[in-house]
Chains A and B, each alone.
Chain A
């Protein structure tokens, strides 16, 4: 979805950054601050989260900050449904094979993929 959304704006993205960090930057407005916000939420680091929120607010505005929080929160739900129900993960919704994408993003190194390889 990230790649598709970037392509819709005529941009490219190195998807490995999703797992290993966007060292070379990424052409998304305020990406550094958005990623810091995300990591602070997931790590449950309250002081870091307060700082990340303070940094994002003037960049996104209040409504943007709310939508950033809502998006991060939404994926707390999605990942838990996917992981606890064990939905198939080898194909995309349209049935496309995802092995190349998994390798590019770095998903093949995740615990469940390591287990699948054993």
Chain B
């Protein structure tokens, strides 16, 4: 493990990419909306641990992900619902279902906690996959920052279009803070919107790995990366297909 992302790499890593990862790790270590910093880091540790879970491997290999007997190999710091959410989302995301999501919530997890944990999963997996793809070690988890979660729930959050509540662009209020770059933001952008800080943290990171949100649908712009737009999109499409992602 290294003390900072990309440490010791000879590769010319974009400054904004490296900085986005450092900011993201600090955000994960800080108090969130529903989880404090220590619990958010416990989630991050469980995400990494889940990669080697034998029970997840059996689920992944089964024709159906339901009904596979056994228990996840966990670090023991989180609840059974949190472990289930983390392990299944890390290892077999393409076969999650609304019934499964409801079963996780029925174990006592709040919708806010669920969404915040999904945001951490997305961020940690993005950063760890980036460094692993480049042959670099994982960054050490940072130290937790003390403090209480804000427990802010956007008044416009409603469960309607997705399994979990979303805040539609027309339902945002000033207290939510900055939300959407455009009222036409797609559903993938709205996914974490019921926990606005998680949404902002995620997109600050994602915009530096893929493309800035305002550039995604602009194919006429000059190249923003060291690979062409078709090269970017063939990578993106293949990753999504290999995950059986239907979106």
Contact = CB atoms under 8 A, between A and B. Distances in A.
Contact of A86 (B11, B96, B125, B240): B96
B133 A64 contact: no
B191 to A, nearest CB: 4
Nearest to B104: A84
A72 B209 CA distance: 9
Contacts of B51: 44
Contact of A102 (B162, B238, B246): B246
Interface in A10-42: 11, 13, 15, 18-19, 26, 28-31, 34-35, 37-39, 41-42
Interface stretch (B69-77, B114-122, B170-178): B114-122
Interface residues of B, number: 78
Query: Is chain B's interface secondary structure helix, strand, loop, or mixed overall?
Result: helix
Contact of A11 (B121, B135, B230): B230
B118 A73 contact: no
Interface in B46-62: 51
A35 B234 contact: yes
B148 interface: no
Contact of B209 (A70, A82, A92): A70
Interface size class of A (residues with CB under 8 A): 35 or more
A92 B93 CA distance: 20
Interface in A53-101: 53, 60-89, 92-94
Contacts of A26: 234
Interface stretch (B27-35, B36-44, B218-226): B218-226
A34 B133 CA distance: 12
Interface of A: 1-2, 4-9, 11, 13, 15, 18-19, 26, 28-31, 34-35, 37-39, 41-42, 44, 49-50, 53, 60-89, 92-94, 102, 105-107, 110-113, 115
Given A28-B231, A76-B129, A78-B206, 11 more contacts: A18-B237, A30-B231, A62-B12, A67-B14, A70-B17, A73-B133, A78-B188, A86-B101, A87-B188, A89-B246, A111-B244
20 contacts: A5-B232, A19-B241, A34-B231, A42-B239, A65-B134, A68-B231, A71-B225, A74-B209, A74-B236, A75-B210, A75-B239, A76-B122, A78-B122, A78-B188, A78-B240, A79-B240, A79-B243, A89-B246, A89-B247, A111-B244
